[in-house]
Amino acid sequence: MTFREAFSIIDKNRVSAKSDIFSGLTVALALVPEAVAFAFVAGISPIIGLYGAFMMGLITAVFGGRPGMISGATGALAVVMVSLVAEGEAMGEGQGLQFLFATLILTGIIQMSAGVFKLGKFIRMVPHPVMMGFVNGLAIVIFMSQLGMFKSGGEWLTGSSLLIMLGLVLLTMAIMVVLPRINKGIPAALVAILVVSAIVIFGGVETATVKSFIQDGGGDGIKAGLPTFNVPLISLNWETLQFIFPYALILAAIGLIESLMTLNLLDELTETRGNGNRECIAQGLANLTNGFFGGMGGCAMIGQSIINVKSGGRGRLSGVVAAVALLAFILFGSEYIEMVPIAALVGVMFMVVIGTFAWSTFKIVNKVPKSDVIVIVLVTGLTVLFDLAIAVFAGVIVSALVFAWENALRIRARKSIDEHGIKHYEIYGPLFFGSVSLFNSKFEVKEDPNEVIIDFKESRIMDQSAIEAINKLAEKYQKEGKNLHLRHLSQDCIRMIKKAESICDVNVVEDPDYFVAIDNFNKYKAAEG
């Protein structure tokens, strides 16, 4: 390596570290109101939400499978936690929070187990239309969540208050649009927040700030000490497990789906590839830690992750900086962070919405199959109305059913009789549960000659339903005193048939050469004569 190459690598590392640090600071500022808001949704203290965001962010940044991805307290999990906390409180005052922490410990164990058993790979089964519906729905959800910032005391802003809020939001967005065109090395989101904050603070502009937002929700502020270790104060018995396990399973599923979907999205944005199984383990470890150290828990945050990536944060350092900066705000800088105007943070999130939404959806509506359009709309709607987990499951199921239906219609049979009087069925298309009925309709058992060959050169036997269909077809030919031969079975098909022999009598003659069938046919003719 030459000196020039060495200095080039060092220079690139410096640029990368600088981008990670600035983007991490931007993310930390945007994390504060979101963590607080989601804590209010779950019915717990804002400090618990901030602790959760800190521990989730730090642990997943260090151990996660996707450098640059940000995790923290999220709304998808908060809406489940609110029921958990409420039911726990009904069992005794203060118990709701203890049950939440115990549930997070179990959630972490489930998520870590998913990573250990390599279940993260199943995210590859999510079709692209589901991904598009997911990002569109999430963009709408983020947009709708920010509309609540235009309220004060539960009432919509009006008059000058509304105009000031809108003006500051638009100014933030304008800075984020213009600044990168002047100099791409400057962290536009961070600069926008600082500029708008300076205008509000030094200009004496009356508008909502982080402090007023917390006070409107019933909180006192974000200043606190370090999180401390505590074992949840609940009774460890079968009744407790029966209560928390369903919640833990739901939280684990939602958390992993949202995290792995975000990981896939960032893979596309950065043209790199993360490790889904490693991310499962990191998410689980972070939630487990939250359960013992009094945090809210959470999962990957698509909005904050996109802010980070768009601001230049591609390495693990960006996530570490965001988490450490958030802790510093809690310990030392609470009074300064509480002065940041909500409008600046809303403006940043609106830019995230614009960057998240798949605008190409409108261009491809008339260019892709109608079924894909239906899946996109379905997943978008369910993400907005319910949550990500339900939307993704529904999208995958619908896509799978459409795929099965389309492939079921592709089974075809080309029929011919050779010079020896042997009838050939050349099968095209996959043979599986969906195509069995159409497959059976192709055969004319009573009218066929005594020797029949089914050629699977252009087909594959896919499942047990296909094996059973062949077995029943063979039985029909046997009852008619006719011989059935299978040709060109792939090795996996042969293995499947041999496995099926233990549970059903697969009455077929497996000959490697067509001439065996011809010889059998000639012997049959000779015996008949």
Does the residue 450 lie in any domain? Answer: yes
Q: Is residue 266 part of a domain?
A: yes
- CA atoms of 502 and 506, how far apart (whole Å): 9
- Residue 161: is it exposed, middle or buried by C-beta count within 10 angstroms (0-12/13-18/19+)? middle
Structural domain contains residue 8: no
Strand 451-461 versus strand 423-431 pairing type: parallel
Exposed/middle/buried for 444, CB within 10 Å: 0-12, 13-18, 19+?
exposed
Taking only the tens place, the pLDDT of each residue in 153-187 is 778 999 999 999 999 999 999 998 998 888 776 77
One domain, residues 417 and 388: no
Q: What is the pLDDT of residues 397-447, one digit of tens each?
A: 999 899 888 888 889 999 999 888 999 999 999 999 999 999 999 999 999
Task: Kindly state whether residues 353 and 436 are assigned to the same domain.
Answer: no
Would you state the pLDDT for residue 493? Answer: 66
* This prediction's pTM: 0.71
Question: Do 365 and 428 share a domain, yes or no?
Answer: no
pLDDT of residue 317: 93
* Exposed / middle / buried, residue 512 (Cβ in 10 Å: 0-12, 13-18, 19+): exposed
The residue from 363, 379, 400 where one domain ends is 400
Nearest residue to 318 (alpha-carbon basis) of 26, 53, 30: 26
Give the model confidence (pLDDT) of 374-389 as tens digits. 999 999 999 888 777 7
Taking only the tens place, the pLDDT of each residue in 496-512 is 666 555 444 444 444 44
Same domain assignment for residues 239 and 262:
yes
Do 416 and 362 have their domain in common? no
- Distance CA(120)–CA(118), nearest Å, equals 5
Bigger pLDDT: 123 vs 162: 162
Between residues 356 and 28, the one the model is more confident about? 28
Q: What is the mean pLDDT of residues 301-312?
A: 85
Q: Alpha-carbon distance 49 to 297, whole Å?
A: 8
Q: What is the pLDDT of residues 44-94, one digit of tens each?
A: 888 999 999 999 999 999 999 999 999 998 877 887 888 898 888 888 777
- H or E stretch at 394: helix 388-408
C-alpha angle 316/307/195, rounded to 5°?
115
8 A C-beta contact, residue 276 and residue 121:
yes
Give the whole-angstrom CA distance, residue 213 versus residue 337.
12
pLDDT, one tens digit per residue, over 307-350 is: 888 888 888 999 999 999 999 998 998 888 889 898 988 888 88
| Secondary structure (3-state) at 488 | coil
Taking 70 as the threshold, does the pLDDT of residue 526 lie above it?
A: no
Would you say residue 77 lies in a domain? yes
pLDDT, one tens digit per residue, over 410-421 is 899 999 998 889
Domain shared by 359 and 508, yes or no:
no
Give me the CATH number covering residue 489.
3.30.750.24
Q: What is the mean pLDDT of the chain?
A: 84
Q: Answer whether residue 405 is part of any domain.
A: no
Mean pLDDT of 95-114: 94
444 and 393 assigned to the same domain: no
Average pLDDT over residues 220-231: 87
Same domain, 135 and 281: yes
Quickly count: other Cβ atoms within 10 Å of residue 525's Cβ: 13
Q: Are residues 416 and 393 in the same domain?
A: no
Considering the domain boundaries, does residue 370 fall inside one? Answer: yes
493 lies in the same domain as 394: no
**Where does a domain end: 377, 400, 423?**
400
Strand extents, DSSP E, 73-153 = 151-152
Query: Considering the domain boundaries, does residue 51 fall inside one?
Result: yes
Structural domain of residue 148, as residue ranges? 13-400
187 and 298 belong to one structural domain: yes
Whether the per-residue pLDDT at 527 is higher than 70: the answer is no
Of 400, 426, 443, the one marking the end of a domain is: 400
Task: With respect to residue 2, please indicate whether it lies within any of the assigned structural domains.
Answer: no
Q: Give how many domains the chain has, as a whole number.
A: 2
Co-location of 421 and 317 in the same domain: no
